[in-house]
């Protein structure tokens, strides 16, 4: 017996929906670390903050590693057995994070958390997509839901750390995972999704090479500034190791009958343009590091107040999701929706450029963060929709892991590392420029300490302002690109179709079934990220 649902037939439909939403509310925000907690983890363990930035990247890498094999795992195990086991494993991993003081353990645990999180996420989204039907409307609802959850989870993690300690939040998440495992064991059916398939076709060595490629890359991004980039042999060796691992990964795929990864989709026009727009989105998302420097380093906010800033993005997130639902329901072209997303991110950057002053008020954050929330959500929905449009299931499943890591880790990590380096260089340059005005008349020995602090803060502001200026210039170029791109508008072509009696009907039916399943899988993967 096969059952494509999740729960027993005797469970009412509203209760099934409630159980799905409940497990999503816990699993979707899960991560090896939470960015607002990093300062508390550094203080509690005495380790460098770069280790926990590395662990944050590791969760994303684990999710990307799981994506090419989720369908095989889904068809190999019974629903209840798999979900219960994975939830218990997530609870154990969170408990390990709460009780260890070794950053290496947290990094390894973060990879596994990301891997398990993706396995659970796929199971949750398929039945919900069947309820909503329209792919774009599904994106609008669930991206808004997931992004709001992420902001709330980040804030609660900091609040619990302030009230108790940073370990307590991991303990709470661990308990929730165990409780959910018990609930799912009671209500989930004990049947297979479809025909049982073996696991021995999975190439585990390719998964290991995939993880090593991006983990070495994450080390470069996380420790680059601390190790002084190319002046460090560790950074050079990690970069070489990442390149060699990727070369071995690509070479191995050419010799496998069932390759773990495929690079065929990267020749598609919409995929390449979509990856470029995701790169542009990564540039805007990486401004979070500059925003944190301004909020904490210049304005003097504590970690809880800084985390509360992210909650200001929620109205923009909800608005973008609502617009997406109506936009895709009316089947309007994507161009102007994507344009509105980039325009909102550009507006956020322009406001921050002019807001780099010591007198910046807390109330002034509402508008820029509203725009940032709207732009982020609109682009997550529309660009991912466009990138994975009209892809065959086999090609898409074999390459979506790379696309997901590109969107969530490589682009943001690359620009975060670049902005960190430029911020340091521009700050030194600003101090040099300000030193022209420093002499015995302007900075006397009696007030040297107070003046030097002001000079340092102004140097930070000048460096941040310069980076936002370059981002604004690039943003106008991105808007021009969006306006001139065709976004899949088909040119008029003549096609000759040969119809064979009987066989054409069966072929069209099979194509529809494959297309429906491929859209469900890639939609679920996109929303999970």
Using alpha carbons, select from 184, 417, 385, 414 the residue that is nearest to residue 274: 385
pLDDT for residue 166 is more than 60? yes
Average confidence (pLDDT) over 262-288: 87
pLDDT digits (tens, 9 = 90+) for 333-366: 888 999 999 999 999 999 999 988 888 888 899 9
Give the whole-angstrom CA distance, residue 251 versus residue 264.
Answer: 14
* Res. 46 pLDDT band, cuts 50 70 90: confident
Give the whole-angstrom CA distance, residue 348 versus residue 342.
Answer: 10
Give the whole-angstrom CA distance, residue 313 versus residue 155.
Answer: 12
When mean pLDDT is compared across 210-224, 239-253, 425-439, the lowest value belongs to: 425-439
When mean pLDDT is compared across 114-123, 295-304, 508-517, the lowest value belongs to: 508-517
Query: What is the DSSP track for 241-286?
Result: HHHHHHHHHHHHHTT-SS-S---GGGGSHHHHHHHHHHHHHHHHHT
CATH class of 1-201: mainly alpha
When mean pLDDT is compared across 168-182, 219-233, 251-265, the lowest value belongs to: 251-265
C-alpha R_g of the chain:
24
Cα torsion through 79, 85, 87, 91, rounded to 10: 180
pLDDT of the residue at 498: 40
Using alpha carbons, select from 356, 380, 327, 427 the residue that is nearest to residue 146: 380
* Res. 319 pLDDT band, cuts 50 70 90: very high
pLDDT digits (tens, 9 = 90+) for 395-447: 666 677 787 888 888 888 889 889 988 888 888 888 877 777 666 556 665 66
Give the whole-angstrom CA distance, residue 512 versus residue 519.
Answer: 11
Q: How many CB atoms lie within 10 A of CB 241?
A: 17
Give the whole-angstrom CA distance, residue 467 versus residue 348.
Answer: 13
Query: Going by CATH, does the domain composed of 268-435+451-488 fall within 1.20.1250.20?
Result: yes
CA distances to 284, 302, 459, 491, 492 from 495, in Å = 42, 64, 63, 12, 10
pLDDT of the residue at 264: 77
Average confidence (pLDDT) over 292-311: 88
pLDDT digits (tens, 9 = 90+) for 466-523: 999 999 999 999 999 999 887 765 443 334 334 344 445 555 655 665 556 555 555 5
When mean pLDDT is compared across 35-49, 121-135, 463-477, the lowest value belongs to: 121-135
pLDDT of the residue at 89: 93
Give the whole-angstrom CA distance, residue 206 versus residue 259.
Answer: 9
* Res. 44 pLDDT band, cuts 50 70 90: confident
pLDDT for residue 238 is more than 60? yes
pLDDT of the residue at 466: 92
Average pLDDT, the chain: 83
Of the chain, the end-to-end C-alpha distance in Å amounts to: 32
pLDDT digits (tens, 9 = 90+) for 57-111: 999 899 888 888 887 787 778 888 888 999 999 999 999 999 988 899 999 999 9
The model's pTM is 0.85
pLDDT of the residue at 501: 43
Using alpha carbons, select from 470, 453, 459 the residue that is nearest to residue 436: 459
């Amino acid at each position: 017996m096969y059952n494509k649902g999740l729960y027993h037939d005797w469970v009412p439909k509203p209760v099934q929906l409630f159980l799905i939403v409940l497990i999503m509310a816990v699993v979707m925000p899960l991560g090896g670390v939470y960015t607002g907690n990093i300062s508390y983890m550094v203080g509690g363990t005495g380790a460098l903050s770069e280790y926990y930035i590395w662990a944050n990247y590791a969760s994303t890498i684990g999710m990307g590693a799981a994506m090419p094999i989720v369908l095989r795992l889904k068809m190999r195990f019974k629903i209840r057995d798999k979900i219960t086991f994975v939830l218990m494993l997530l609870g154990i991993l969170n408990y390990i994070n709460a009780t260890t003081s070794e950053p290496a353990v947290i990094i390894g645990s973060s990879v596994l958390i990301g891997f398990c999180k993706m396995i659970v996420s796929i199971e949750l989204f398929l039945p919900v997509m069947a309820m909503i039907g329209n792919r774009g409307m599904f994106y609008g609802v669930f991206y808004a839901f997931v992004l709001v959850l992420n902001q709330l989870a980040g804030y609660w993690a900091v609040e619990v750390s302030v009230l108790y300690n940073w370990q307590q939040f991991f303990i709470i998440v661990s308990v929730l995972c165990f409780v959910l495992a018990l609930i799912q064991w009671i209500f989930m059916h004990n049947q297979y999704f479809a025909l049982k398939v073996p696991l021995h076709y999975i190439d585990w060595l390719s998964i290991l090479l995939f993880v090593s490629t991006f983990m070495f890359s994450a080390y470069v991004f996380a420790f680059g500034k601390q190790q002084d980039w190319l002046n460090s042999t560790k950074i050079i060796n990690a970069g070489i190791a990442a390149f060699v691992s990727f070369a071995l990964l690509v070479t191995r795929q050419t010799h496998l009958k069932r390759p773990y990864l495929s690079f065929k989709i990267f020749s598609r026009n919409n995929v390449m343009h979509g990856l470029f727009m995701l790169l542009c989105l990564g540039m805007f998302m990486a401004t979070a590091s500059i925003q944190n420097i301004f909020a904490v380093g210049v304005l003097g906010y504590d970690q809880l107040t800084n985390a509360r800033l992210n909650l200001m993005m929620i109205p923009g997130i909800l608005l973008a999701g609502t617009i997406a639902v109506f936009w895709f329901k009316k089947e309007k072209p994507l161009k102007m929706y994507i344009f509105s997303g980039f325009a909102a991110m550009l507006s956020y950057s322009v406001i921050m450029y002019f807001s780099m002053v010591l007198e910046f008020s807390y109330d002034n954050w509402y508008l820029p963060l509203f725009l940032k929330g709207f732009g982020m959500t609109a682009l997550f929905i529309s660009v991912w929709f466009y990138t994975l449009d009209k892809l065959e299931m086999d090609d898409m499943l074999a390459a979506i892991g790379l696309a997901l890591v590109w969107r969530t880790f490589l682009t943001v990590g690359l620009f975060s590392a670049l902005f960190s380096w430029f911020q340091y260089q521009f700050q030194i340059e600003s101090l040099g420029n300000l030193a022209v005005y420093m002499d015995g008349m302007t900075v006397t020995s009696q007030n040297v300490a107070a003046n030097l602090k002001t000079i340092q803060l102004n140097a930070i502001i000048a460096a941040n302002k310069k980076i936002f200026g370059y981002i604004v210039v690039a943003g106008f170029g991105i808007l021009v690109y969006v306006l001139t791109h065709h976004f899949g508008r088909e040119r008029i072509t003549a096609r000759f179709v040969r119809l064979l009696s009987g066989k054409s009907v069966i072929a069209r039916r099979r194509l529809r079934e494959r297309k429906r399943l491929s859209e469900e899988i890639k939609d679920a993967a996109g929303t999970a990220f």
